[in-house]
Structure 1
Amino acid sequence: MYSKAYRRWHHVKDKTLKKKRQNLRNPVILARLSALCEEFEHGLHKSAENDQKLQVFNEFHLSFFNNFDAAESLWRQFEKDAACFIYQRFSFCRSWHASVGKKTDKTPHIVAVQDLTGETVMLVPLCLEKTRFGTVVSFAGDGMADYLAPLVQDDFAQNITKAEFQKLWNSILATIDGNIDMVWLDRQPISIAGVRNPVSLLSSFDFVSSSHALKFPRAANWSQCARILRSGQTTKKIARRFAKLAGQGEIELVEITGAKARQDHIHKLLVLKVENLNQSGILHRMDKPDVARFYGALVGEETMQDDLCQFELRCGGKMIASVLGFVHHGTFYYQISAFNKKDFGRYSPGLLLQYQLLEWSFSRGLERFDMTVGDEVYKGDWSNETTTMVTVAQVFSTAGRLNYTYRRAMLWTTSKIKKSPRLRKLVMRVMKKADNIVTMPRFELHGMARFQKNLKEHSQGH
């Protein structure tokens, strides 16, 4: 296969030859065109065969890096114009690897795809993990990122076919040394900022949840925008809640800035989030030590400061709700939120916080408000875009088949528990009882006490 430019030129040349043959004109020009065509084809194949450093697939060649430092320059340059999420930014992925990836022995394998002009058209930040069921290939950020996807150039993603990408993907996997037992790429959106995600062209199955976002309509001000999105009755209901809350004190949305203030804020936010999830009977892993390590490292990342959004909604100086978000390429990402349900639960603090953040995003000219992955009711209330999520899985060995079966079973179980309140309550009761059983001295701390101890140790390290 040759480039589009060549195919287009070849088509024009064929038409010219046909016309010239029919009219029996300019035989010298016809001979010259044929010679040029043969010369071009010979030069193209010779260039591909002689350059041993390039791994050529059609019009692409691959280069790969086994550490983040080696890929930093190319990655940071490409992310400026590529279609990507905040979760595929270099700073995000490096923070993830430093705080989480290294702890779980995940080795980076970053693949850059270039066309024959040397222009990067896709960057795939993969990681290799040694598990009890063999070597697994996944995306960097797994476990912390809501979306896992490559960084892609628009034209490349829109024009490559399924068969072409399958061959390219096989070439990408061939750059990995050693045997691969399984590829597991979950949380794959079918589109990346409106551009088709080429990874979703691979064989896949639906993820347990979709993602939801709001694309702001054109409006003169936020009040007009809110009336376009929701009925007048809904906006009046929200206004009444704000009016009732105002009776308790002045309402303000406070942005958290400064290194120390941001670290304190994220630690308090995580503690409050764990309390909210436990009270709601929702299964989660927010109390795991790697979560605190990751968000502490991310908030402290110097190159992420302009993209971090940390807010508290306060009434009379008291915190009602707290949130961590990101801004990237005209989109606000609603990442973690938690609420003071004990003192302000009757005022629907989550609804009020979301409304304030929507107004904040609109007033700053952002195009989208991404509520990320999950099918919660509040996301459906305000979203006007829903993106299907898929999981790409490939098995290459018996160990990989065991790993695949285990993961599919866990996904199925999790989806059933999420859909059944009775099952959720049963599982939470079992977990609470297990949490209170002390079998060995090293398991002396459990639940919230253990989580707060981890946070305290982490904060002392800063």
Structure 2
Amino acid sequence: MTGQAVQTVVNDLPAGPASRVVAANDTFTVRLHTSLDSVRPLWLHLQENGVCTGHQNYAWAEGIVAGLMPDDAELLIVEVNDAATGANRMLVPLMRRQAFQHRVIEWLSCGVCDYSAPLLADASPWTAQSAQAAWTAVRSILPPADRFHITGIPRTINGVANPLALLPEIRDSLQTAFGMAIDGEPETVLKRLCRPSFVKEFNKDWRRLERLGSVELVEAGTPAEAEQIFGELLRMRLSRFRELGRFDLLTQEKVVDFYRNAALRGLLDKSVRLFGLRVGEALIAVQYLLVHQDTVHALLIAMDQSVVPNVSPGLAIMGRLMGWAREQALGYFDLSVGDQSYKERMGAKGSVLVKLSHGYTMRGNAATTAIDLRSRTEAFVRSRPGLLKVARETMRRVRRLRGGLQRQPDK
């Protein structure tokens, strides 16, 4: 083979289950799949035996493709193999869609994946050179696009360097992920690993809850229980976000359906877990979890403080779930993306996620510039509490006004 990648131009992807086009360089060969069915055996093998996050679970991706991908989007899953041995090295799930008069290639996420990370065949180390060679091979088989826009890239995947994060084009994003390694006895996990101030607050709140009645962490084990607990999560979360004047993806029906269906599927393989914290007969908090290998990802949390206004139900269920995670022999508690203050109060460590965002055409460059400007503006507002308060109050009034107009009867 030559040292240069074979540049294969793919203008119109075949309608069949997978492209037969193979691109290669001295280090890697690649194959493009345009359906989940064609890559399912390999995906499940890597999910079970390789290195990936819970956000790259096959069932999770299947739900994205079935319910969240835009109608005009194309699935682009790139299989990367060793050129010398033919052994698989990784799987890169992408999609191409139309966006404001241009085409963009992005991660297969549609807003429901915190992390953009390939499925790696094993824990073999990656270098900047091997990552660049793999990405060059991936690029050679992808269809034309005006820009790439991949966000939420973690620097490591379960301790293994993420090849995407080693590329020279990556830049720090505004997103920070928090998490903490957990070990030892479940009964003492909070005392040993969390900050003393958090442990003190948790114990105080738990005693207050116990004075109101029996306190129980309940898990959805049947479809009926999953529907009931998820319904409470939706009610609590939308009420809280309307109060705060913040946008939530769960205002979109198709996103609600995605999470509900994933929770129902998760009853079989336990990849999705749904918990509620019950005081007496009332649920005061709900937590939606993804579980993969030794990691638990805390995704959606909702709480109802009207039952116990002097207690933080969110911290109570989170602390209790850390003990549950150790009972299941899980070793890492991922608190997801976002710089909410409670995460540092717990003692979690933050890690800045990186992004791959750049254009290849005039339209792509213009779109990338506009997106970067919007991100910098949001960061500027968030860095100034007074300005952020005004912005949130304005959005709260706008959403209340919209809700009032929508409820008015026809005249």
TM-score relative to the length of structure 1: 0.78
- Give deviations 1:119-178, integer Å, cap 9, x for gaps: 21110001001112411011101311111111113454x23x32442233122122123x
Matched, 1:270 2:234: yes
Q: Which residue of 1 aligns with 2:37?
A: 69
Hey, what's the Cα distance between the residues in 2 that align with 1:417 and 1:304?
44
Q: 1:404-450, CA deviations, whole angstroms, 9 ceiling, x for partnerless residues?
A: 012112222222333333333323333344445579xxx9527xxxx
Specify which of 235, 250, 253 is matched with residue 214 of structure 2: 250
Q: Which residue in 2 is equivalent to 1:15? A: none
Residue 388 of structure 1 aligns to a residue whose secondary structure is strand
Tell me which amino acid in the other structure corresponds to 1:169. W
Q: In the alignment, what sits opposite 1:336? A: 300
Residue 325 of structure 2 is aligned to residue 361 of structure 1 = yes
2:138 — aligned with what? 172
Secondary structure (helix, strand or coil) at the match of 2:251 reads coil
- Counterpart CA distance in 1 for 2:32 and 2:287 is 37
Q: Separation in 2 of the partners of 1:434 and 1:368?
A: 40
Does the C-alpha gap of structure 1 residues 153 and 382 become closer, same or farther in structure 2, counting only changes over 3 Å? farther
Per the TM alignment, residue 308 of structure 1 is displaced from its structure 2 partner at its CA by: 1.5
Report if the CA contact (8 A) 1:282-1:424 is conserved.
Answer: no
> Following superposition of structure 1 onto structure 2, how do residues 177-256 of structure 1 map, counting pairs within 5 Å?
177=143, 179-202=144-167, 203-217=169-183, 219=184, 221-230=185-194, 234-256=198-220
Is the 8 Å Cα contact of residues 50 and 123 (structure 2) preserved in structure 1? no
Alignment check: 8 A CA contact 2:244 2:392 kept: no
Q: CA deviation at 1:215?
A: 0.3
Structure 1 runs of 4+ aligned residues shifted over 6 Å read none
Letter of the structure 2 residue corresponding to residue 120 of structure 1:
N
1:108 alignment counterpart = 75
Q: Report the Cα distance in structure 1 between the residues aligned to 2:365 and 2:196, rounded to whole angstroms.
A: 54
Q: Which residue of 2 aligns with 1:460?
A: none
Q: Whole-Å Cα distance in 2 between the matches of residues 340 and 413 of structure 1?
A: 32
Check whether the contact 1:281–1:424 (CA below 8 A) recurs between aligned residues: no
Query: What code does the residue aligned with 1:82 have?
Result: G
Maintained 8 Å contact 2:221/2:267: no
Query: How far apart are the structure 2 equivalents of 1:100 and 1:196?
Result: 29
2:96 aligned residue? 128
SS at match of 1:292: helix
SS of equivalent residue, structure 1 residue 210: strand
Residue aligning to 1:352? 316
Aligned partner of 2:406 in structure 1 is 445
Q: Structure 1 pair 53/269, CA: closer, same or farther in 2 (3 Å)? A: closer
- Give the residue type in structure 1 aligned to 2:137: S
Structure 1 CA distance for aligned equivalents of residues 307 and 247 of structure 2: 24
Q: Does the 8 Å contact 1:107/1:128 carry over to 2?
A: yes
Residue 285 of structure 1 deviates from its aligned partner by: 3.5
Residue 53 (structure 2) aligns with: 85
Give the structure 1 partner of residue 12 of structure 2: none
Question: Which secondary structure state, in structure 1, belongs to the residue aligned with residue 377 of structure 2?
Answer: helix
Q: Specify the SS of the correspondent of 1:207.
A: strand
Q: How far is the alpha carbon of 1:246 from its aligned partner?
A: 1.1
Q: Which amino acid aligns with 2:77?
A: I
Q: How many angstroms apart in 2 are the aligned matches of 1:114 and 1:426?
A: 52
Question: Any gaps of 5 or more consecutive residues in structure 1?
Answer: 3-51, 447-462
Task: Say which structure is richer in helix.
Answer: 1
Q: Which residue of 2 aligns with 1:55?
A: 23
Give SS of 1:345's match.
coil
Q: How many residues align?
A: 389
1:191–1:352 Cα change, 3 Å: same
> What's the offset of the Cα at 1:233?
6.0
Residue of structure 1 in register with 2:118 after alignment: 150
Greater Rg, structure 1 or structure 2? 1
Describe the superposition over 1:340-373 as per-residue Cα deviations: whole angstroms up to 9, x where unpaired: 1112131111111111101111122110111011
Aligned with 1:356: secondary structure? helix
Q: Measure the CA separation in 2 of the matches of 1:200 and 1:231.
A: 31
> In the superposition, relative to structure 1, how do residues 77 and 328 fare at CA in structure 2: closer, same or farther (>3 Å)?
same
**1:235–1:432 distance in 2 versus 1, CA, 3 Å:** closer
Inter-CA distance 222–436: structure 2 relative to 1 (3 Å threshold): closer
User: 1:424 & 1:283 partners in 2: Cα distance?
Assistant: 14
Structure 1 stretch displaced more, 424-433 or 273-282: 424-433
Distance 1:112 1:304 in 2: 28
Q: Relative to 1, partners in 2 of residues 1:431 and 1:402: Cα closer, same or farther, differing over 3 Å?
A: same
Give the TM-score normalised by structure 2: 0.87
How far apart, CA to CA, are the structure 1 residues paired with 2:382 and 2:21?
50
User: How high is the sequence identity, in percent, across the aligned residues?
Assistant: 22
2:287, 2:381 → 1: CA distance? 26
Alpha-carbon offset, residue 54 of structure 1: 4.4
Q: Deviations over 1:284-319 (max 9, x none)?
A: 433123321221232233686411111110111111
CA contact (8 A) 1:334 1:371 kept: yes
Range with greater deviation from structure 2 (382-391 or 85-94): 382-391
Q: Partner residue of 1:454? A: none
- Once residues 138 and 189 of structure 2 are traced to their aligned partners in structure 1, the CA distance between those partners, rounded to angstroms, is 45
1:102–1:57 Cα change, 3 Å: same
Counterpart in the other structure of 2:362:
398
